Amino acid sequence: MRHWTFWEWLAYAGIFVAALIVTADTGFRLAPDVSVHLPAFFHSAWWGFAPVLLIVASTVILLLREFVFAPRTREFALTHVQAPTLPATPKTRVQESTASAPERLFVGEDITPKYLVSSFEEHTDIQAKQLAKPFIGKWMRRSGRLTEVRVSRPEIGALVTLQNDDDKDPICFMQFDSPWLDRLSILRRGDRLTVIGQITTVESFGVTLDPCELVETL
């Protein structure tokens, strides 16, 4: 009703008046003492056919508004309604994410886990970790023979350790995300691997790289 125009209200008024006439006519028939005092119009044929004429006229108005005049209104509405904005497809989001990904900075070949851990030999734990801060977040390349692939929970990936060429080197813990599990599961102990990973922690007992990627297997 909030969007009705003059014609809808006119049709509604016609139906309403027709209902009143039918109700009044029924009342007059049941109270003949009252009807004798009414004007002659209420006893004419027009009074009897008035409800039918009003309902027909109201129906014609509603039909014309629905099928004749409505298309212009609908066309106007369609041309003024803004099309909804579709969400970006996953492919677009991946491209934007890749474009904005930070550049990987690799440490030099002489920056090894042994070099990073050596600070703990002459400094306290808090001092050594302060010295290692410039390397946190950088990437490192490591090669060696596979010693272990440990999976505690598949959803968090696998922890890999390599045997370095120098047995005295500290342990380098390499954390791989879950998408790498299928490839890691077919490797055998002793396979030679080349891995790149991001330095996340440096402790007195070793270095953690997380996340890691498998670059080469021999």
pLDDT of res. 149? 94
Is residue 122 in some structural domain? yes
For residues 133 and 207, state if they share a domain.
yes
Residue 158 makes CB contacts below 8 A (sequence gap 6+) with 149, 150, 151, 175, 176, 180, 181, 184
pLDDT of res. 31? 67
Is residue 51 in some structural domain? yes
For residues 118 and 213, state if they share a domain.
yes
Is residue 96 in some structural domain? no
Rounded Cα distance between 4 and 21, Å, is 24
- CATH number of the domain that residue 207 is part of: 2.40.50.140
Domain C-terminal end among 57, 80, 103: 80
Q: What is the pLDDT along the chain (218 residues), one digit of tens a residue?
A: 666 677 677 777 878 777 777 777 776 666 666 666 666 656 666 666 677 777 888 787 777 767 666 655 455 554 555 545 545 544 434 444 445 567 899 999 899 999 999 999 999 999 999 999 999 999 999 998 999 999 988 888 999 998 876 656 778 899 999 999 999 999 999 999 999 999 999 999 899 999 999 998 77
Domain C-terminal end among 64, 80, 96: 80
For residues 60 and 128, state if they share a domain.
no
Rounded Cα distance between 76 and 107, Å, is 65
Tokens representing 179? 């998408």
pLDDT of res. 1? 61
Rounded Cα distance between 55 and 16, Å, is 9
The residues that bridge with 212 in the sheet, in sequence order, are 197
149: domain range?
113-217
pLDDT of res. 132? 94
pLDDT of res. 195? 95
